[in-house]
């Protein structure tokens, strides 16, 4: 596992969970992401990953994570192999995940994997010599999304400590908020969790926050939570994770952010969403100064450029 964060003694580590990183290490990655911004925008070019190959193995649908990883690799002169449709791979013939990983490992220098099963990225890392970057494992974790979210908040708000951050929506199945809640607690944010009663943040994540000295508030009242918030992080109700369609139908549309909902918010409130959105943010919000979700999605490119370059042992 030589393709990794050499300046912070990350040799041999994979990116499976944000909990694999200390605050100092996260700050270091965010600093590198900032340096990557002009390269991510195509204003500057350096082929520091020339000769490197990245495997992108997507066993679940994706737009942003896969394309931003591919863009990041291409922007730095590297190449990408992989698949977005597992039914067109030998998995269809019964090949195991372990063997698929062994193959990708022998064909490339790093592996990005998205998989519907929680723990799949951790398992993949056991069968790969090159680093494995978790692009989302079921309802588990999504560490690179977490890093780009932190990058976005830090860039927009200058600091995270003491900022009031409201996480709203499907906090039970939404893997992005599981990683983010932990990381925000690490930075000492003031956390407020808003969800329907049956989609509350898992106890495990709540306890992680408490251990870090942050006591999140829990409620189902979004209007009240928004009032003095600095960041509103909205999530989609994760239809694909519900064991029962009836249960999904009961909660879909529980929260809808529109201009009326935001009328008493701080002028400086930013609205974030990992995307895709379905019904939870009205398109009328897109044209307001609150809407940060498209910029947030773009920030996936510099953040993933930072991760890919650091893990290859080269910097700008
Ligand atoms: N945020 C995110 O993971 O988006 P995609 O599912 O489109 O990759």
What are 134-179's pLDDT values in tens digits?
Answer: 999 988 899 999 999 999 999 999 999 999 999 999 999 888 999 9
C-beta of 179 in contact with ligand 1 (< 6 A): no
User: Do residues 39 and 75 make contact, with C-beta atoms less than 8 angstroms apart?
Assistant: yes
State both tokens at 181.
């809640």
State both tokens at 186.
């690490």
What phi and psi, each to the nearest 5 degrees, are found at residue 133?
A: -110, 120
- 164-168 and 79-83 beta bridge pairing: unpaired
The DSSP secondary-structure symbol of 153 reads: H
C-beta of 63 in contact with ligand 1 (< 6 A): yes
Distance CA 197, CA 152 (A): 29
Distance CA 90, CA 101 (A): 12
Q: Indicate which residue of 52, 75, 141, 142 is catalytic.
A: 142
C-beta of 65 in contact with ligand 1 (< 6 A): yes
**Which residue is associated with the tokens 């599981």?**
178
93 is catalytic: yes
E strand residue ranges, 120-240: 132-137, 164-168, 190-194, 217-219, 231-234
Low-confidence ranges of the chain (pLDDT < 50): 1-6
65 is catalytic: yes
The DSSP secondary-structure symbol of 201 reads: P
3-state secondary structure of 300: helix
Residue closest to 282 by CA, chosen among 268, 263, 301, 300: 263
Distance CA 134, CA 217 (A): 29
Q: Indicate which residue of 66, 114, 178, 236 is catalytic.
A: 114
The protein residue whose alpha carbon is closest to atom 6 in ligand 1 is 62
Report the atom number in ligand 1 closest to the C-alpha of 275. Answer: 1
Distance CA 284, CA 214 (A): 34
What's the pLDDT at 2? 41
pTM for the predicted model, two decimal places? 0.94
C-beta of 145 in contact with ligand 1 (< 6 A): yes
What's the pLDDT at 244? 84
What's the pLDDT at 247? 79
Q: Which of 58, 62, 116 to mutate to test the pocket of ligand 1 (most atoms within 8 A of CB)?
A: 62
Distance CA 235, CA 85 (A): 25
Cis peptide before 276 (omega within 30 of 0): yes
142 is catalytic: yes
Q: Which of 174, 276, 293, 295 to mutate to test the pocket of ligand 1 (most atoms within 8 A of CB)?
A: 276
3-state secondary structure of 248: helix
**Which residue is associated with the tokens 């977490």?**
146
User: Do residues 120 and 204 make contact, with C-beta atoms less than 8 angstroms apart?
Assistant: no
């Amino acid at each position: 596992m030589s393709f990794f964060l050499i300046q912070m003694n990350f040799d041999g580590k994979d990116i499976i969970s944000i909990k694999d990183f200390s605050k100092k290490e996260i700050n270091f990655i965010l600093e590198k992401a900032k340096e990557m911004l002009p390269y991510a925008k195509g204003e500057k070019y350096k082929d520091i990953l020339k000769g490197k190959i990245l495997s992108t193995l997507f066993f679940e649908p994706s737009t942003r994570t896969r394309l931003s990883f591919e863009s990041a690799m291409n922007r730095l002169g590297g190449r990408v192999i992989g698949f977005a449709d597992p039914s067109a791979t030998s998995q269809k013939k019964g090949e195991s995940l372990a063997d698929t990983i062994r193959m990708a490992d022998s064909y490339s220098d790093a592996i990005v994997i998205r998989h519907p099963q929680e723990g799949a990225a951790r398992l993949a890392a056991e069968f790969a010599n090159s680093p494995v970057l978790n692009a989302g494992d079921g309802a588990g974790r999504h560490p690179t999304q977490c890093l780009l979210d932190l990058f976005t908040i830090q860039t927009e708000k200058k600091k995270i400590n003491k900022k009031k951050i409201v996480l709203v929506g499907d906090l039970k199945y939404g893997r992005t908020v599981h990683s983010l809640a932990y990381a925000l607690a690490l930075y000492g944010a003031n956390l407020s969790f808003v969800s329907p009663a049956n989609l509350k943040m898992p106890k495990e994540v709540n306890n992680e926050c408490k251990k870090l000295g942050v006591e999140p508030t829990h409620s189902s009242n979004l209007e009240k939570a928004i009032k003095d918030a600095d960041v509103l992080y909205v999530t989609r109700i994760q239809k694909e994770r519900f064991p029962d369609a009836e249960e999904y139908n009961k909660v879909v549309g529980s929260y809808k952010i529109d201009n009326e909902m935001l009328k008493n918010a701080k002028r400086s409130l930013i609205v974030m969403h990992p995307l895709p959105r379905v019904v939870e943010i009205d398109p009328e919000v897109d044209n307001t100064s609150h809407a940060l979700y498209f910029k947030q999605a773009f920030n996936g490119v510099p953040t993933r450029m930072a991760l890919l370059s650091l893990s290859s042992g080269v910097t700008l």
